[in-house]
Copies of this chain bind each other. A is one copy, B any other.
Amino acid sequence: MTDLGHVDGLLAPRSVAIIGASEDVTRIGGRPIAAMLKAGYKGDILPVNPKRDSVQGLACYASVDDLPMAPDAALIAVPAKLVPQTIEALGRKGCKAATLFSAGFAEMGAEGEAAQRELVALAGSYGMRLLGPNTLGVYNVDIGYYGSFSSSLDTGFPLAGNIGIASQSGAFGAHLGALARDRGLGSSILMTTGNEADITVADAIAWMAQNDATDVICTYMEAVNDAPALLRALDAARAAGKPVIALKSGRSVVGAAAAASHTASLTGDAVVADAVLTAHGAIIVRDPETMLDIAYVASKKIFPKQNSLGVITVSGGAGIVISDEAERIGFPMPPMPDEAQAHLNEVLPYGSPVNPLDCTAQALNDPSLLEVFTRAALQDGGYGAVLCFFTYVAGSPAMSDTIMQAMTPLRAAYPDRIIAFVALGAPEVLRSYDDQGILIFNDPCRATRAIHAICSMRDAVNVTAPDVTPLTLPDHTPDEATAKEILAQSGILSAPEQAVQSIEDAVAAADSFGYPVVMKILSPDILHKSDIGAVKLNLDDEGAVRLAYAEILGAASRHAPDAHISGILVAKQLSGGVECLMGINRDPAFGPMAVFGLGGIFVELLNDVAVRECPFDTVAAHEMISSIRGAAILKGARGQAPVDMDALAEMLSRLSIFAAGAGERLTSVDLNPVLALPQGAYALDAVIEVKEL
């Protein structure tokens, strides 16, 4: 288990010093003290301000040196120029965790960034960890610790609950916290990390993965500043059975530009981040409301085994709308078993017993129908989640007691299933259902989406990390033949081919493979061979091979007179099948990422690719391949034979293992095209780019 002692100091301190403490409860140095006093924080609050004897009724210390103890946490609310000496003093005193509210560092440009780096080094020299700078701080609801100056607290304290929030942006995190509170959702922790000079959201997630008060983790990030730590934290949360719901922003051109000018973040490739976070079990969302919808479902700690939805309505219309939404997002709604349908038909001849189940407005006259249908969906339908569109019927004061009595035993009898109502009515009525573990939504489609996010969690493929053997790459970017040889050593197949240095050898090679053949220039200096006419296809006989040999050399000497030519590649020309592409790109945060797509418009126009962190096994490779929109073409659409998916997945997995083994010097790999045949898959071209030694 990672040592997260420094986060203990930040999130659960037994004592806190406020440097720059203020009597004014609207000032940055006054707000945290006022909040902690109001919330009944049990630890020691130690104001530091050379100009005062007391602050908000507490004894005030003139300097850090004067503090009676080394505080677990320090909140630094002094101007940027005074921060270094404050950290110095805190370090000397023995404080190990400081929150830097002060702005004026990396978000201000290169100078600020340098100053920020110095702060981290200075703190590090004392074994002190820093949160911020430019952070709103943290809170820990259970212990009443409010190391934050967020004015969100002006509209009330958070409700206690099991949702933790880790946000790079302060105001955005505080907005999430306040939105949760206004919706009646309880939270445990809020940590905002600001410039992330040292501590990142990864630390917060890792800490919450171990925190008993937290069962669900919401996280917002603009940049991924410590990818390995983030992935470890996600894995720890998954191991602890705590869903992580992640909003990674900066996916648009405008958004990325805005991010760059904010908390000094470069957002990186959102597609890559989504892929990696998803592979590590995170649920990706785009907006705060959806984040809290899913967190709300997860907060009940019911994670059904079955990814299926049963729907019960008192209005056929709602059942149709929900079915439409479920199909759109891929949430299965299998029909009820025949026998159960027959039974429900007897109970209510003019309802609908299939799925959605409609007990019609008749339920108003006979509320027992609600129980009968809901029980049938749980017992006979076996759905992972049952969504009941009971609308104002459930909220009606005349009906709610009856419905509650009917549902309480069902809730107890099926503890592993989600039961949710779409219900409208007085807040206290709705809350009474929620208190019984019945989820309450007012919109059927939002409910469907949020429940699906939780029900489909277990569908995530559990991949085993394959063994990786370190490889040595050549000193320079290799030519195509060498690249293919290197890949062949990792089990990645090309078409039969031979590098030759003479016309006679070319003819001999072609004869041995059988016609037609392909011929290409071999040169590490010419990467785009087709563009200069140094690739010849459809060579059907010896004469064509001889002519091609001369033409290729001629083209090369015309277009690239200085290129080093190592020969000409003669390869058997494979045909039929489907052209794919595979490659490796290095992401600044996540390292080598494998890419898979179909050739042609699928990649170029539709951006229809799957990406995944390397290395991965064939199960993950299969999942990648099946995830692209054009996958139907591989499976034999348009009257074609299906391609050898196993061979394709094998190649993709081997490529990912190769990339992981090749290490930092591997810049990129481009296998384009890979020909996927009904039997086998072969790289027809291969480019490996390495960092030159």
Assess whether A633 is in contact with B601, with CB atoms less than 8 Å apart. yes
Contact status of A601 and B445, CB under 8 A, knowing A151-B393, A255-B327, A364-B151: no
* B250, B319, B354, B396: the one within 8 Å of A154 (CB): B396
A261 at the interface (CB under 8 A from B): yes
**Which residues in window 108-154 of A have CB below 8 A to B?**
108, 136, 150-152, 154
User: A559–B170 Cα gap in the complex (Å)?
Assistant: 74
Assess whether A321 is in contact with B178, with CB atoms less than 8 Å apart. no
**Which residues in window 628-645 of A have CB below 8 A to B?**
629-630, 632-633, 637-638
* B289, B361, B399, B630: the one within 8 Å of A601 (CB): B630
A656 at the interface (CB under 8 A from B): no
With a cutoff of 8 Å between Cβ atoms, the chain B residues found around residue A41 in the complex are none
A355 at the interface (CB under 8 A from B): yes
Assess whether B392 is in contact with A317, with CB atoms less than 8 Å apart. no
Copies of this chain present in the complex amount to 2
Assess whether B325 is in contact with A170, with CB atoms less than 8 Å apart. no
What 0/1 pattern do residues 246 to 259 of A give for CB contact below 8 A with B? 01011111111111
Q: How distant is A670 from chain B, measured CB to nearest CB, in Å?
A: 18
Q: How distant is A422 from chain B, measured CB to nearest CB, in Å?
A: 8
Known: A154-B398, A262-B358. 11 other contacts (CB 8 A): A108-B350, A151-B393, A152-B392, A220-B317, A249-B321, A261-B352, A261-B354, A262-B317, A263-B317, A267-B320, A286-B324
Assess whether B287 is in contact with A445, with CB atoms less than 8 Å apart. yes
With a cutoff of 8 Å between Cβ atoms, the chain B residues found around residue A323 in the complex are 252, 254-255, 258
User: A174–B395 Cα gap in the complex (Å)?
Assistant: 13
A175 at the interface (CB under 8 A from B): yes
A477 at the interface (CB under 8 A from B): no
Q: How distant is A359 from chain B, measured CB to nearest CB, in Å?
A: 11
User: A434–B238 Cα gap in the complex (Å)?
Assistant: 43
A326 at the interface (CB under 8 A from B): yes
Assess whether A169 is in contact with B317, with CB atoms less than 8 Å apart. yes
A563 at the interface (CB under 8 A from B): no
Q: Closest 8 CB pairs between A and B?
A: A169-B317, A171-B315, A262-B316, A252-B327, A172-B317, A287-B445, A255-B323, A289-B443
What 0/1 pattern do residues 232 to 271 of A give for CB contact below 8 A with B? 0000000000000001011111111111011100010000
A1 at the interface (CB under 8 A from B): no
Instruction: Specify which of A250, A318, A328, A398 lies most central, judged by the most chain B CB atoms within 10 Å of its CB.
Output: A318
With a cutoff of 8 Å between Cβ atoms, the chain B residues found around residue A601 in the complex are 601, 630, 633, 637-638
User: A119–B605 Cα gap in the complex (Å)?
Assistant: 56
Assess whether A355 is in contact with B426, with CB atoms less than 8 Å apart. no
Q: With CB as the reference atom, state the residue of chain B lying closest to A221.
A: B317
User: A220–B358 Cα gap in the complex (Å)?
Assistant: 18
Assess whether A424 is in contact with B319, with CB atoms less than 8 Å apart. no
Residues of A that sit less than 8 Å from B by CB = 26, 103, 107-108, 136, 150-152, 154-155, 167-175, 178-179, 182, 220, 222, 247, 249-259, 261-263, 267, 286-289, 313-321, 323-328, 333, 350, 352, 354-356, 358, 361, 364, 389, 391-393, 395-399, 422, 424-426, 442-446, 601, 604-606, 629-630, 632-633, 637-638
Assess whether B172 is in contact with A315, with CB atoms less than 8 Å apart. yes
Assess whether A324 is in contact with B171, with CB atoms less than 8 Å apart. no
Contact status of A182 and B442, CB under 8 A, knowing A315-B172, A424-B155: yes
With a cutoff of 8 Å between Cβ atoms, the chain B residues found around residue A316 in the complex are 169, 258-259, 261-263
User: A235–B189 Cα gap in the complex (Å)?
Assistant: 53
User: A629–B261 Cα gap in the complex (Å)?
Assistant: 33
With a cutoff of 8 Å between Cβ atoms, the chain B residues found around residue A604 in the complex are 637-638
With a cutoff of 8 Å between Cβ atoms, the chain B residues found around residue A319 in the complex are 255, 258, 262
Q: How distant is A566 from chain B, measured CB to nearest CB, in Å?
A: 29
* B152, B320, B355, B637: the one within 8 Å of A391 (CB): B152
With a cutoff of 8 Å between Cβ atoms, the chain B residues found around residue A442 in the complex are 179, 182, 289
User: A667–B151 Cα gap in the complex (Å)?
Assistant: 66
With a cutoff of 8 Å between Cβ atoms, the chain B residues found around residue A154 in the complex are 392, 396-398
With a cutoff of 8 Å between Cβ atoms, the chain B residues found around residue A426 in the complex are 155
Q: How distant is A455 from chain B, measured CB to nearest CB, in Å?
A: 16
With a cutoff of 8 Å between Cβ atoms, the chain B residues found around residue A392 in the complex are 150-152, 154-155, 174-175, 178
With a cutoff of 8 Å between Cβ atoms, the chain B residues found around residue A286 in the complex are 321, 324-325, 328, 445
Q: How distant is A399 from chain B, measured CB to nearest CB, in Å?
A: 8
Assess whether B178 is in contact with A391, with CB atoms less than 8 Å apart. yes
User: A251–B174 Cα gap in the complex (Å)?
Assistant: 39
Contact status of A317 and B633, CB under 8 A, knowing A254-B327, A352-B258, A424-B155: no
* B150, B254, B288, B425: the one within 8 Å of A326 (CB): B254
Could you list 19 A-B pairs, sorted by A, with CB under 8 Å?
A: A151-B393, A171-B314, A171-B317, A175-B318, A175-B392, A175-B422, A178-B391, A179-B443, A249-B321, A249-B324, A252-B327, A258-B319, A258-B320, A258-B352, A258-B358, A262-B352, A288-B445, A601-B633, A601-B637
Instruction: Specify which of A182, A254, A604 lies most central, judged by the most chain B CB atoms within 10 Å of its CB.
Output: A254
User: A570–B667 Cα gap in the complex (Å)?
Assistant: 55
With a cutoff of 8 Å between Cβ atoms, the chain B residues found around residue A333 in the complex are 254
Q: With CB as the reference atom, state the residue of chain B lying closest to A327.
A: B252
With a cutoff of 8 Å between Cβ atoms, the chain B residues found around residue A326 in the complex are 252, 254
Q: How distant is A168 from chain B, measured CB to nearest CB, in Å?
A: 7
* B171, B444, B605: the one within 8 Å of A287 (CB): B444
User: A182–B441 Cα gap in the complex (Å)?
Assistant: 13
User: A396–B155 Cα gap in the complex (Å)?
Assistant: 6
With a cutoff of 8 Å between Cβ atoms, the chain B residues found around residue A350 in the complex are 103, 107-108
Q: How distant is A605 from chain B, measured CB to nearest CB, in Å?
A: 5
Assess whether A443 is in contact with B287, with CB atoms less than 8 Å apart. yes
Assess whether B174 is in contact with A391, with CB atoms less than 8 Å apart. yes
Assess whether B352 is in contact with A424, with CB atoms less than 8 Å apart. no
Q: How distant is A48 from chain B, measured CB to nearest CB, in Å?
A: 22
Q: With CB as the reference atom, state the residue of chain B lying closest to A220.
A: B317
Assess whether B318 is in contact with A251, with CB atoms less than 8 Å apart. no
Q: With CB as the reference atom, state the residue of chain B lying closest to A259.
A: B320
Assess whether A249 is in contact with B317, with CB atoms less than 8 Å apart. yes
Q: How distant is A574 from chain B, measured CB to nearest CB, in Å?
A: 22
